[in-house]
Amino acid sequence: MKRLTILSALAILLPSIALLPAGGFAQEGAAQEGAAQIEVPPAPQPQAPEPPADLTPPAGAETTASGLAHQVLEPGDGADRPDANDLVVVHYTGWRSEDGEVFDSSVARGKPALLPLEALIDGWTEGLQLMSEGAKWRLWVPGELAYQGVEGRPQGMLVFDVELIEVRSIPPVPEHLGEPPADAVRSRSGLAWKVLESGEGGESPGPGDTVKVHYIGWNTEGQWFDSTYSRGAPAALPLANVIRGWQEALSTMTPGEKRRVWIPERLAYAGQEGKPQGALTFDIELLEVIPAG
């Protein structure tokens, strides 16, 4: 299963500033005679929305062949739709259809969630692939597309309001993992690679340089374990601090180049505890070389 992370809050509420009465500041720990006691109320906490009036699909809702019903609350303004391999940034609230009780809400937590589409309930995986960025839909998810039979989870039909904030596309799993294809370039060290996109020219990074890269890494079972695509931003990494296979591969790349690199275990994490084990496959895109000093 892909790793789950929660995004930082999108906004920071600043507390109100109370003006001191005329006469200046009181000394620490002392009361100022005649000063009014001003209490600053705490910032309001986010609340889950009230349940919708329709806890079962209304007549105007569209229903797919699987039984998923949906209604557009706000149309999207983006062209991107997620596929099953992508991650989505969403705000949502879920209610039980039987009584309108909230059982989960990112809105109440005040933070959108970053979720891998393939790890979600079937109703979400299907519904979100029909949505575009910026859209807000109401989903009525029948029990067989939700948590049917899963202990500790709400049962029966569930109702969700889902806002698709952003799609973060994850490259598909390569056909060859661990063992490079016959047409890959091989070095004496055992490293292998294929150029996916040619570079724009310029200097390759040296040992003291920093590289700005987009990347994703898979293990031999096809599970990705680290990716800048999931974070939505490239990484700036000192070349001296990355694994040996990366050092060798990047030292012959130029800005703009994208490679698929097959790294044997001895050039990767070499059995380090808590690190991905075995041979690893990476897609690496070199965006920029930041010279040392």
Pairwise CA distance, residues 249 & 190, whole Å = 11
DSSP-based three-state secondary structure for 123? helix
Contacts of residue 166, defined as CB under 8 A and 6 or more positions apart, other chains included, come to 88, 89, 133, 232
Residue 213 inside a domain? The answer is yes
The CB density around residue 216, as the number of other CB atoms within 10 Å, is 20
Structure tokens at 259: 């490679």
Number of domains in the chain: 2
Residue 240 sits in a domain whose CATH number is 3.10.50.40
Whether 164 and 66 share a structural domain: yes
**pLDDT-above-70 percentage for the chain:** 85
Please tell me whether the overall predicted TM-score, pTM, comes out greater than 0.75 for this model.
Answer: no
Whether 146 and 241 share a structural domain: no
Structure confidence by residue, pLDDT tens digits, 236-246:
999 999 999 99
Whether 67 and 118 share a structural domain: yes
- What phi and psi values does residue 249 have, to the nearest 5 degrees? -65, -50
Pairwise CA distance, residues 180 & 260, whole Å = 9
Structure tokens at 228: 């800048």
The pLDDT of residue 9: 24
Structure tokens at 138: 């109401």
The pLDDT of residue 230: 87
Contact 135, 75 (CB under 8 A): yes
Contact 90, 124 (CB under 8 A): no
Residue 175 inside a domain? The answer is no
Residue 39 inside a domain? The answer is no
Whether 151 and 217 share a structural domain: no
Whether 75 and 129 share a structural domain: yes
Length of the chain: 293
Contact 159, 139 (CB under 8 A): yes
Average pLDDT over residues 254-275: 95
Contacts of residue 88, defined as CB under 8 A and 6 or more positions apart, other chains included, come to 82, 114, 115, 117, 128, 164, 165, 166, 167, 168
pLDDT bucket at 259, cuts 50 / 70 / 90 = very high
Which residue, 107, 133, 168, sits at the end of a domain? 168
Which residue, 114, 141, 168, sits at the end of a domain? 168
Pairwise CA distance, residues 76 & 90, whole Å = 13
Residue 82 inside a domain? The answer is yes
* First CA to last CA distance, the chain: 40
Pairwise CA distance, residues 227 & 171, whole Å = 10
Q: Which amino acid is at 220?
A: T
Residue 68 inside a domain? The answer is yes
Contact 203, 286 (CB under 8 A): no
Whether 164 and 189 share a structural domain: no
The CB density around residue 47, as the number of other CB atoms within 10 Å, is 11
pLDDT bucket at 137, cuts 50 / 70 / 90 = very high
Tell me the residue range of the domain where 93 lies: 62-168
Residue 164 inside a domain? The answer is yes
Which residue, 116, 136, 168, sits at the end of a domain? 168
